[in-house]
Amino acid sequence: MGLMAPWFLAGLAALSLPVWLHLLKRRRSPPREFSSLLLFERRVESSLRRRRLRYLLLLALRCLLLAALALAFARPYREAAAGAAAGRLVVLALDESYSMRQGDRMARARRAAAERLARLSAGDRVQVVAFSDSVRLLAEPEPDQAAARGAIESVRPGDGRGSYAELVRALGWMARAARVPVEAHVFSDLQRSGLPPSFQDLTLPPGLRLELHPAADRAVENWTVEAVRAPAVVYGPQAVRVEATVTGFARRPARRRVLLALDSRLIESKEVEVPAGGRAAVEFTLSEPGHGAHRGEVRLEPPDEFPDDDRRLFALQRADPRPALFLHEARERRAWLYFRTALEASGGGAFRLEEATLEQAGGLKPARYAFVVLSDTDWLPEGFAQDLRAYLQGGGSVWIALGPAALARRQAPLLDAPLSALGDGAGSLPGVRELDRAHPALEGTGRWEGVKFYRAARLEPAGARVLARLADGTPLLMEKAVGAGRLMLFASALDNLANDFPLHPSFVPFIERTAAYLGGLEQEAGALTVGTHLALRTAAERGVAVEVIGPDGRRALSLSEAATAGELALKQAGYYEVRRGAGRNRIVAVNPDPRESDLDLIPAETLALWRAAGSAEVAGARGEGTERTRRGLWPAVLLIALAAAAAESWTANKYLAGEGEGT
């Protein structure tokens, strides 16, 4: 016997209520006149005894009702031998995370699961599931052992990260759906890194008994390439720096050889000393990779006991810089100077800036450019303005900086909202107070401390998101979605007359980040992790078909998904080839979660605590051969409460009827 929620027993305090009622609210008997009480003894206890007896019956029923309710909420259970529990559901959960590739862990897990399957009792139903970062149901709950055996044999180690919290969550809904006692057997290497940050996530649901079957009996020393940092895209003929981090999950230092390969061709190898339980960094230089997509790899030699994680993939692409247009008044070139210098200083080289005056804009096609900057323009050639609006609607990006010309005309290009001038240029405006530093354009740009603004425009277009404000609340940097495109609005000029921003260090990263954001560079990543998602298309590419070839050489998307899916869940490690048509192909490297390389096992005391969080504690204490399950007694207790309520009503009614007759 036990209680699943013993704190509900505090409800027994409510028993004091009927006791109080019966002690202090005793009803008096009906009065009746009699000729003389001379011969009646003053032995009131004789009558009170009966009254108390009857009241005690009522009191006992009421106390029983309250006690049964409190007990039902405390969810009592009774333990019984598992063999006696007919009709239970046995869940065989096999770990298919990446770490199960080490040694014979997967084979041991399958063998143990098959052995447990052979020991099923008659009437038991069995369900086989495989889990890593998610849970897969391999067979429906049924008594057929052949199907379950086939499901067990089909389990192979994957590339995902093991998550015991996900497993417990899935076991929870299985237990709720089963409506019978559930016995879960987990066959796993019980990797410490698979534990969730909060132990609360491992709490087992009521009615579930958990039994753990370790597939690994010792912690294995392992070295792995934990991370590779290399640019996803390089623009132009330049050397590429590749940094790799080698991590040792071992208690001893080791010397490892680290090799860099590109397109299966060894580029360079280095020796590195990895401290015990520490990391070592290795840096390689790739001299001018060729045009196109490349498959890179950093691996360790010689292989250790877990060779699968000795390499880490990355993708590298060499592309031509994309053109960007900077449009300004012919007489004012300061902004162009500062903007170009800042963008070139950032070192990315992703964009090739083209300068044009308003008079030259009539012959330009905005669709050619990654983004367009309108620096203090108070008008636009009519044809160009129409093209620019269409460009915006179609997914293009425009950056508008408002300088003296726009302030003089009280109107900004492309915007219908009126604006007002702020500041006369003699004194500085209040400093920057708010910065949305989570925005990609402002990430890593500092706090703009000390930046002085002398002139600015005051406007706030409808639907615009304010990214930066002055101390007086004036919006300084805004972003507005126009159709599928982006419109960035800077309420001051990009020169050093309206402000001194170009003279501050934060100006360069601001220009670089904003250009990358507007040009769509932030979406490109060379290496991802299994379990994450790959963005397939932007809003501008809504109608474009995207085809993805997985690491196994097969299409990862169906035809309908290829036309509509916004992202792809990455389940396998390896290289994914993303084809967008017109030769715009891209390689994405996907690696297993590096935490899978830590083969340290969950400590025994943590496992005991996990079992204690559920029902397996008792089974463990009573020996391996004794399998026990819990049966909830709360329905029976609830029935007792109902019976007590009915009896209480009957007794109370009878009593009240007697009181009525007496009066």
Residues in the site for other proteins, rule: CB under 8 A? 28-44, 46-51, 658, 661-662
Choice between 461 and 658, CB closer to other proteins: 658
Closer of 51 and 504 to other proteins (Cβ): 51
Tokens for 126?
């069995």
Would you say 7 or 34 has its CB closer to other proteins? 34
CA distance 346 to 445: 12
CA 380 from centroid of its chain's CA atoms: 46
Exposure pattern of 456-489 as b/e (b: 16+ CB <10 Å)?
A: bbbbbbeebebbbbbeeebbbbbbbebbebbbbb
Torsion angles phi and psi, residue 67, rounded to 5: -65, -40
Q: How far is the CB of 645 from other proteins (least distance, A)?
A: 25
Least distance (Å) between residue 19 CB and other proteins: 21
For residue 437, how many other CB atoms are within 10 A of its CB? 14
Distance of closest approach, residue 57 Cβ to other proteins, in angstroms: 15
Nearer to other proteins by Cβ, of 30 and 278: the residue is 30
**C-alpha distances in angstroms, 596 versus 98, 170, 192?**
6, 21, 9
Q: Which is nearer to other proteins, 26 or 365 (CB)?
A: 26
Nearer Cβ to other proteins, position 48 or 408? Answer: 48
Closer Cβ to other proteins, 51 or 433, answer by number: 51
The token duo for 48 is 């009170």
* Of residues 249, 208, 204, 257, the one with CA closest to residue 226: 249
DSSP, residue by residue, 105-117: HHHHHHHHHHHHH
Residue 63 Cβ vs other proteins, minimum distance, rounded to whole Å: 23
Contact between residue 294 and residue 317 where contact means Cβ atoms under 8 Å apart: yes
553, burial (CB in 10 Å: exposed 0-12, middle 13-18, buried 19+): exposed
- Alpha carbon distance 590, 573 (integer Å): 5
Minimum Å distance from CB 660 to other proteins?
11
Residue in 94, 102, 93 with CA at minimum distance from that of residue 597: 102
Task: Name the DSSP class of 530.
Answer: T
Instruction: Choose between 33 and 424: whose C-beta lies nearer to other proteins.
Output: 33
Burial of 618 (0-12, 13-18, 19+ CB in 10 A): middle
Tokens of 352: 């090739």
Q: Shortest distance, CB of residue 31 to other proteins, whole angstroms?
A: 4
Residue 285 burial class via C-beta count within 10 angstroms: exposed 0-12, middle 13-18, buried 19 and up:
exposed
Closest contact distance (angstroms) between CB of 64 and other proteins is 25
* Nearest-approach distance from CB 58 to other proteins, in angstroms: 15
* Minimum distance of other proteins from residue 56's CB (angstroms): 14
Distance of CA 252 to the CA centre of its chain: 34
Return the number of the residue (1 or 39) whose C-beta is nearest other proteins.
Answer: 39
Sign of CA dihedral 212, 213, 217, 219: negative
Of 29 and 523, the one with the shorter C-beta distance to other proteins is 29
The DSSP bridge pattern shows strands 397-401 and 485-490 to be parallel
> Least Å distance between CB 49 and other proteins?
8
Q: Rounded to the nearest whole angstrom, what is the least distance from the CB of residue 654 to other proteins in the complex?
A: 11
Closer CB to other proteins, 49 or 447, in the complex: 49
How near is the Cβ of 17 to other proteins at its closest, in Å? 25
Which is nearer to other proteins, 345 or 657 (by Cβ)? 657
User: What Rg value do the Cα atoms of the chain yield, rounded?
Assistant: 37
